[in-house]
Amino acid sequence: MIEPRPGVFVGNLSGMVRDRLWEDVCKKAKDGGAMLTYTTDNEQGFALRMWGSPNRVVRDFEGLALITVPR
């Protein structure tokens, strides 16, 4: 994985490694938030996972994951 910005990691991992890293991130995030984006076999070609208190919210609109910013 590479870190193009502090706290942002990009890479091509197996599902098992991705899930284990996600568990570690959730345990260590404390009061922050985290978002995981990964490729999958759906219309958009990716899925999202969110944990904690991110400043964005994923909403499902007829099967499409869209990001909204709470007011």
Architecture of 2-68 per CATH? 2-Layer Sandwich (3.30)
Q: What's at 29, amino acid-wise?
A: A
More reliable by pLDDT, 63 or 54 = 63
What is the residue extent of each domain of the chain? 2-68
Query: Which tens digits make up the pLDDT trace of 9-61?
Result: 999 999 999 999 999 999 988 888 889 999 999 999 999 999 987 788 889 99
Q: Phi/psi zone of residue 44: left (φ > 0), alpha (ψ -120 to 50 degrees), beta?
A: alpha
Contact predicate 1/9, CB 8 Å: yes
Question: Any bridge partners for residue 34, and if so which?
Answer: 51
Give pLDDT, residue 71.
80
Which of 68, 5, 9 lies closest to 38 in space, CA to CA? Answer: 9
Which of 43, 5, 41, 47 lies closest to 22 in space, CA to CA? Answer: 47
Give pLDDT, residue 47.
92
